[in-house]
Each structure stands twice: as C-alpha cells, then as structure tokens.
Amino acid sequence: MDAMILAAGRGERMRPLTDLTPKPLLEIGGKRLIEYHLESLARAGFGHVVINHSWLGEQIPAALGDGSRYGLAISYSNENDKALETAGGICKALPLLQTDPFLIINGDIWSDYPFGQLPQGIDGLAHLVMIPNPSHHPHGDFHVEGNVLHENGGRKHTFSGIGVYRKELFAGCDPAQPAALAPLLRKAMTKGQISGEIYTGEWQDVGTPERLQQLDKTARSA
C-alpha cells in the first residue's frame, strides 16, 4: 500500500518558526518531524511515499531526496504557491498513488501508531484512526459505534490525521482547486461508508511552538 504525507500547509500557528522552514522540517529530538513518519513507514513495510508541498516547498525534496536513505521511494506533488488544502492536495496527488486504497498521514502530528496494523483492504471509502480527545480539542470530531463512524450520535473522539482512503472518495474533485476533506467524509458517513478504530497510544498534534518545544524536550529525555 502506498502512503502520502500531507506537508503543504503554511503552518500559521507555528510562526515565526515556519517563516523560514516548512513545518514538517522542524526538528524534534534532533530529527525532522517528517522523518519520524518516514522511518515508521519503512519499519511497517511501506515502499512508496508521496509528499505534497507548497510553502517553502523546495526545501522538502532538498532535505529528503529520493527516500533511499530511509529505505523508501519518495515522489513529490508540488502545489507551488497555491496550497490545495487536504482533499485538494490528495486529489492532485492521486496519479502518483499507485495503490487503492492508500494511507494518508498529516505531516504535523507525531505518533507511535504502528502503521503495519492498518487494514490493507477496506469495505467503505475510508478507515480513520481516532484518538481520545486532547485538551486543545475537547469535543472531538466523530462518534465511533462498533467500527463505523458517525458525525453525531454519542461521545466523540478526535481524528488523528491517520487514515486509509479509496480513490472513489475523491471522485469528481478538481485537482487545481482547494478543497477540504471533512465535507467528503461527512457525506460518506451518512451512507455508513467510513469505518474507524480508536488508538490510545502516543499521539501529539505539533501545531504550536509550545507543543513542539514540549515534544522536543520529551524526545531528548527518552
């Protein structure tokens, strides 16, 4: 199964750190954030990874190269100066993704989630990894009932930014236009086409300088 790491965001909440460096290249414990994903994917047996980029995007392929140092093959989806948001970025990268389904990982999270346990095949249009609600997102995103996700209906969990998707979810999308992912997921949920699981291991949204600093301190003391 192919994987894609979303790395095109501007990182506004992370400024001024992202004024000169794209967020996925910020370091935690002496290692770039995105490198933790690449190493985890290689350990799980993934071979091909797509990375999209926009803001200061030329720095990402310059830093990571073709992926061979990680035991991977990396392809890049260049969104130039027009970041396409989550669904738009995936839509543009679909021709580079050689498997269906495929894995998507947000580039601004850190987690010890074992990618090898993800389903290689899914019945619906997506399978999302959910986590207990962090303090900065106390109300969650979606309700998990069995292994099916719903927008409403009970206690909600937070979407981790890790999910397996089928290309059919993005049917009809315009690869040149920005588009959010949540509306596509909600529409599919009404038809029972989104499955999910709850993961209770380590996970962090590295969205602010304070969280980055805390995670860096934790990584260095490990």
Query: What CATH number did the domain enclosing 128 receive?
Result: 3.90.550.10
How many structural domains are present in the chain? 1
Give the CA dihedral 120, 125, 129, 133, nearest 10 degrees. 180
In three-state secondary structure terms, 104 is strand
Please give the structure tokens belonging to residue 81. 């100066």
What is the per-residue pLDDT across 35-88, written as a single tens digit (0 to 9) for each? 999 999 999 999 999 999 998 889 999 999 999 999 999 999 999 888 899 999
Domain that includes residue 23, residue range:
3-221
Mean pLDDT, rounded, of the chain: 92
Position 222 scores a pLDDT of 63
What is the per-residue pLDDT across 180-191, written as a single tens digit (0 to 9) for each? 999 999 999 999
Q: Are 110 and 36 in contact (CB under 8 A)?
A: yes
What is the per-residue pLDDT across 5-32, written as a single tens digit (0 to 9) for each? 999 987 777 788 778 888 899 888 889 9
Q: Are 60 and 14 in contact (CB under 8 A)?
A: no
